[in-house]
Structure 1
Amino acid sequence: MATSLAQPPKRLSLLKLAGPTIVGNLLLSLVHLAAIKIVSALGAEAVTAVIAADRIYMAVQLVIIAITAGTTTMVAYAWGAQTPEEADRAVKLSATLCAAVSLLLCVAIQWLATPLVAIFGLSGDTLQEAATYLKVLIYFNVFFSFLAVISAGLRAAGDAMTPVLIAAVGNVINVALAYALVYGYMGMPSLGILGAAIATGISYMLVAIIFMLLWKRQHLLLKPLPQAFWSVERVRRLVRIAVPAGIEQGIQNFSIISFMWVVSLFGTEAFTAYGIGVNILSASIVIGVGFAIATATMAGQNLGAGQPEEAEKAAWRNLRIAFVIMAAIGLTIGLNARTIGSFFISDSQVLDYLTALTIMVAIVQPLMAIEFTLGGALRGAGDTKAPAKISFSGFLFGRVLLTGIFFALGLNVYWVYAALIADYVIKCSLYIRTFRRGKWKTAMSAPPKPTTNITATTE
C-alpha cells in the first residue's frame, strides 16, 4: 500500500461525488421508463418484448461492467497515491479490453438473440420483435463500453459531474428519437419497438464520440498521455478485480433472469408487471448506486493514500445518510404504489400485480442502502470476492430456495415477489459482518511500477 500523504485525497465531498451520479442514474432510469411508456401504446406484447430484450442486453454487459469495476478501483488508488499517469494506463487498458469484448458480443448475439429472449416464454411476433431489438442494440455496444469506462474512470478520480452532463445530452436525444422512430414523427419512418432500439444505440454513439473528443483534446480530468499501458502485471491486477466482480454481476443477472422466468410461469400479466416493477426499482435505487460509487471512490482514494481509517469512517457516514434517504423514498413509493403503477399500465390484472410488487420494492429500499454503500466500499478497496459470495448467498437462500418452496406449495405470485425481501435481508446481514471484519483494508496490492518507455509526464 502507498505511504501516507501529507494531505488527504482531494475531491472527496460526498455531495460532489454522489449527487451528480444520483442525478445521472435517475435520468438513465427515467429513459428506460420513458421507453416503456412510449411503446405501451403499441400494446402489452410490445412492452413485454422491450422488457425481455433490455434484460438480456443488461445481462450480456456483465463482462464490461466487471472490467469497469476494476477501472474504478485502479483509478481511485492511483489518484489517491497522486500518480495520475497510472490512472491513465488503467483507463486505456480497460477501454481496450472492453472494446474487444464488445466486438465479440456483436457477433455472438446475432446467433443467440432468439434463444436468449425465448427463455421468458415469448413466442410468435413478440419473440421475433424482442430478438430483433436485441440484435440491433448490440451493434452499438462498442460505444457503450467506451463511455462506461471513461465515466467510471472520471468518477473514480473525483469528477462525477462531467459524465452526468454529457449523458444528459444523450438521454434527451434518446427519448426524442425513440418517440419519433417508434411512431414515425418528424419525417422519421415508423419502426415500432425497433425504433426504440435504434434511438438508444444512437444516443450511446453520440455520447461516446463526445467523450472521445473531450478526452483526446485534454479537456477531462483524466488526460491521455503518450505512454505504454499494456503490461502483464497490470492486466493481472485488473483481472483479479474484474473476475470476482464479473461473477457477482453474473449471479445478479442470472438471479433476475431466473426470477423473471419463474414469474413468467404465472402468466404474461405477472411477467409484464415484474418487468415494469424492475424498471421502477431501477429508478428508485439511484440513491443507493450514487452512494455506492461515491463510497468506492472514497475507499479507493483513501486506501491509495495510506489512510484506511478514513476509508472506514467515510463508508459508515455514507451508509447512515443513504439509509435515511432511501427509507423515506421507500415510504413514498409504498404509499403511492397503485398511482405509480397506473402511469405505466391500465390492464387491471397487471396493475394489481404491479401494485403488490411496488410495495415489496418499497420495503427493501433501506436494505438496499446497506448493500450498495458497504458493497461500494468493498469494491473500491479492491475486494470484489466478498460481494460475489454475498450475492450468491442471497440468490441461493433468498430467491432460489424460497421461490422453489412457494412454487411447490402452489402459492400465488405475490409470495414469489416477497422472496425479494428475504434476498436483501440475507445480503445486508452478510455485508455488515464482512465490513466490520476489516479484511477489505488490505485487499489491494501495490500498483504496478511505471513502465520504462513513458514518453510524457503529467502536467
Structure 2
Amino acid sequence: MLNTKKVFSYNKEMILIIYSLAWPSIVEQLLQTVVQYADSAMVGRLGAQASASVGLTTSVNWLINSPLFAMGIGVLAYIASSIGAKKYDRARLASVQAIIITFVLGLAITIITLSVSPFLPKWLGGAPEIQRDASIYFAIVCLPMLFRASTIIFGSVLRASGDMKTPMKVNLVMNTVNVVLNFLLIYDSRVITLDRFSFHMYGAGLGIAGAAVATAIAYCVSGSLMFMALYRNKLLSPKGEKIRLDKAIMKRCIKIGFPVSLQRIATSLGHVVFTSLVTKLGTISFAAHSIALTAEQAFYIPGYGMQSSASTLAGQALGEKNEKKLHQVSITVLQMAIVIMTITGTILFIFPDTMMSIFTQDPEVIKAGASVLRIVAVSEPMFGALIILEGIFNGVGDTKASFFASLLSMWGIRIISTYICVSLLGFGLNAVWICMVADNVMRFILLLIRFISGRWKRKLQFEK
C-alpha cells in the first residue's frame, strides 16, 4: 500500500531543496535583468536610434557567449556528477580545466570580435545612421572578454557544487557597478532636483559609448571576483594544483559541452539572421522588437533560475547512480516552473504597455511592443518547461537532443517562416513574433517527447 504521508514528506523535502538552490539563481537572473532594463531605459532616453544601435548586436553577443556557456555546462555536468559520486579530487581537477578553458576561449573570442566589430553592423543590415554607434558599442563590450568568460565559466563551476549564492553576490556587485557608471557616463553634467533639494551631477556625456564602457568595467569587476571566489572555495579551489591539461577530464567536458556549443551557435546564428530580417521592418519596428525582447526577460527569470538547480541536482543524482531521485527531481522542477511561469505569463499579457513604457516614451514603439508581448505571453508556460528540460539534459550530459531540437526549430521553423512573412508576404512585427513563438513551441514538443520516452535515461550509467 502506498504510504501517502511518506511520499508527501519526500516531495516537500525535494521542493525545499530545489527552492534553496533556485532562489539565489532567480535573484541573480533578476539582477541581470534589472541591469539590462536600466541599460535599455537609459539608452532609450537618447532616442529610438540609440536603442536600435545597442539592440543591433545583441544577437551577436548571444553568439559569442555560446562557447562560454557551453563549456560552463560541460564543466558543471562533470563536477556535479563527481561530487555526487564523492570523487572530490576529480572535481578539483575539473576546476583547473575550467581555468584553462577560460583563458583560451577568452583570448580567442577577444581577437575575433575586435577584428569584426568595424564591419558587423553593416553585415547585419543596420541602417547607415546607426552603424557607427553599433560598431563602437560592440567593440567596447567585447574588449574585456577574458573577464566575461571568467564570470560565466567559474560561475558554472561554483553552481556545480551547489554554491548558488556566490554567483548571485558577484552579479549584485557587477550590476551595481554597471548602473552607477551608466548614470555617470551616458549623460552630460546636469542639475538634479529632488523635492526641495537640487544638486549638480557630473556626467561624461559619452552616450552609447558610455553605456558600453560601464558594461565593460562591470565585466572586469565580476570576472575578478568570480575567480577569487573559486580560489577560496573549499571543495573546488585549484589552490595547490598545477595548472596543466588533464586530457581525460578535458575530453569529457568537451564531449558534453560541444553539442551545447553547436546548439547555441546554431541558435545564435539564427538570431543574427532573424535580427537582420527584422531590421527590414524599419527603425521603429526594430526598436520595438529590441525593447520587447528586453521587457520579456523579466518574465522567464524563474525558469532560468530554476534551470541551474535542475542541472545541479540531475548531475548529482547521476553521480549517486540514483535513477529514482533523478526522475523525482525532473518532475518536481518541471511542475514548479510551469506553475510559476503561467503566473508571470498572465501578468505580462495584462500589462504589456506598462512594461514597454519603462524603456521608451515613443507611442509608436510602445504600441508595437505591447502587441508582440501579448503574443509571447501565451507561450510562457511551455517556454518555462523547455528551459527546465534543457537544464535536466545538460546536467546529466545528454546534450545532443537539445542541439538537434534547437537546430530544427530555429532554422526549420523560425527563420524560414520569418523570411516568408517579412520578405515575401510583407507582414509586420506581429507575424515575426508568432514565428518566434512557433519555434519555442516546436522545441518544447521535441524535448518533451524525448523526456517522456525515457530513452535518454537508458543511456546513463545507473547501477541496478
TM-score, normalising length: structure 1: 0.90
Judged with a 3 Å threshold, the aligned counterparts in structure 2 of structure 1 residues 12 and 328 are, in CA distance, closer, same or farther, namely closer
1:158 alignment partner in structure 2:
162
Residue equivalent to 2:284? 269
* Counterpart amino acid of residue 195 in structure 1: G
Counterparts of 1:56-455 in structure 2 under 5 Å? 56-185=60-189, 187=202, 189-216=204-231, 218-219=232-233, 221-228=235-242, 230-407=245-422, 408-441=424-457, 443=459
Residue 12 (structure 1) shift: 8.2
Q: Aligned in 2, Cα 1:221/1:279: closer, same or farther, shift over 3 Å? A: farther
In 1: Cα distance, 2:322 partner to 2:152 partner? 28
State which drifts further: 413-422 or 23-32.
Answer: 413-422
Q: Deviation per CA, 1:24-43, whole angstroms, max 9, x where unpaired?
A: 01110111111011112211
| SS at 2:119 equivalent | helix
Matched, 1:31 2:46: no
How far apart are the structure 1 equivalents of 2:122 and 2:218?
27
Cα pair 2:158 2:230 within 8 Å, conserved: no
After the TM superposition, which of the residue ranges 344-353 and 236-245 deviates more from structure 2? 344-353
Moved more, 350-359 or 186-195: 186-195
> Which whole-Å CA distance do the structure 2 matches of 1:349 and 1:43 have between them?
13
Counterpart of 1:73 in 2: which secondary structure?
helix
- Cα deviation for residue 444 of structure 1 reads 5.7
The structure-2 alpha-carbon separation of the partners of 1:402 and 1:219, relative to structure 1 and needing over 3 Å to count, comes to closer
Say if 1:155 and 1:297, in contact at 8 Å, map to a contact too: yes
SS class of match (1:285): helix
Report how far residue 278 of structure 1 moved. 1.3
Paired residues of 1:53 and 1:134 also in contact (CA < 8 A): yes
Answer with 298-307 or 269-278: which moved more.
269-278
The residue type paired with residue 99 of structure 1 is F
Q: 1:236-261 deviations in whole A, cap 9, x for unaligned?
A: 11111111000111122122222222
CA offsets, 1:395-417, max 9 Å, x none?
13321232233232333331121
CA deviation map 1:163-182 (0-9, x unaligned): 10121011111101111011
Tell me the CA shift for residue 187 of structure 1.
4.3
- Asked if the contact 1:381/1:441 (under 8 Å) is kept, the reply is no
Show structure 1 runs of 5+ residues with no match: 1-9, 447-459
Report Cα offsets for 1:176-206 as digits up to 9, x if no partner: 1111011145545321111111111111111
- Tell me the CA shift for residue 291 of structure 1: 1.7
- In structure 2, relative to structure 1, the CA distance for the partners of 1:414 and 1:344 (3 Å cut) is same
Equivalent residues of 2:32, 2:175 under 8 A apart? yes
User: Contact 1:62–1:246 (CA<8 Å) still a contact in 2?
Assistant: yes
Deviations 1:45-103 (A, max 9, x none): 11111112333222211111111110110111111111222222222212212221211
Corresponding residue SS for 2:426: coil
- What one-letter code is carried by the residue in structure 1 that aligns with 2:414? R
Structure 1 residues 441 and 227, CA, compared in 2 at 3 Å: closer, same or farther?
farther
1:300-346 per-position Cα deviation (integer Å, ceiling 9, x unaligned): 00001110221121111111111011011000000111121122122
SS at match of 1:383: coil
Which 10-residue stretch deviates more, 431-440 or 138-147? 431-440
Over 3 Å counting, the alpha-carbon distance change for 1:122 and 1:67 in structure 2 is: same
Q: Cα–Cα, structure 1 residues 219 and 233, in superposed 2: closer, same or farther, change >3 Å?
A: closer
What is the deviation of 1:441?
Answer: 2.7
- Indicate the RMSD between aligned Cα atoms, in angstroms: 2.1
* Helix, strand or coil at the partner of 1:345: coil
* In 2: Cα distance, 1:211 partner to 1:54 partner: 24
1: CA distance between counterparts of 2:140 and 2:359?
A: 25
* 1:40 corresponds to 2:41: no
- Paired with 1:236 and 1:342, the residues of 2 have a C-alpha distance of 48
Closer, same or farther: CA 219–90 of 1 in aligned 2, 3 Å? closer
SS of residue matched to 2:281: coil
Moved more, 116-125 or 261-270: 116-125
Aligned counterparts of 2:234 and 2:283: Cα–Cα separation in 1:
47
- Whether the 8 Å contact between 1:295 and 1:380 is mirrored in structure 2 is yes
Deviation at 1:439, TM superposition (A): 3.1
8 Å Cα contact 2:300/2:344 also seen in 1: no
Indicate conservation of the 8 Å contact 1:12/1:158, yes or no: no
Q: 2:88 touches 2:235 (CA, 8 Å); kept in 1?
A: no
- Counterpart in the other structure of 1:449: none
Cα 1:404–1:121 shift into 2, 3 Å: closer
**1:209 Cα deviation from its structure 2 partner:** 1.9
Q: How many Å separate the matches in 2 of 1:136 and 1:445?
A: 45
The aligned residue for residue 10 of structure 2 is none
Letter in 2 for 1:277: A
SS at match of 1:344: coil
Closer, same or farther: CA 12–211 of 1 in aligned 2, 3 Å: farther
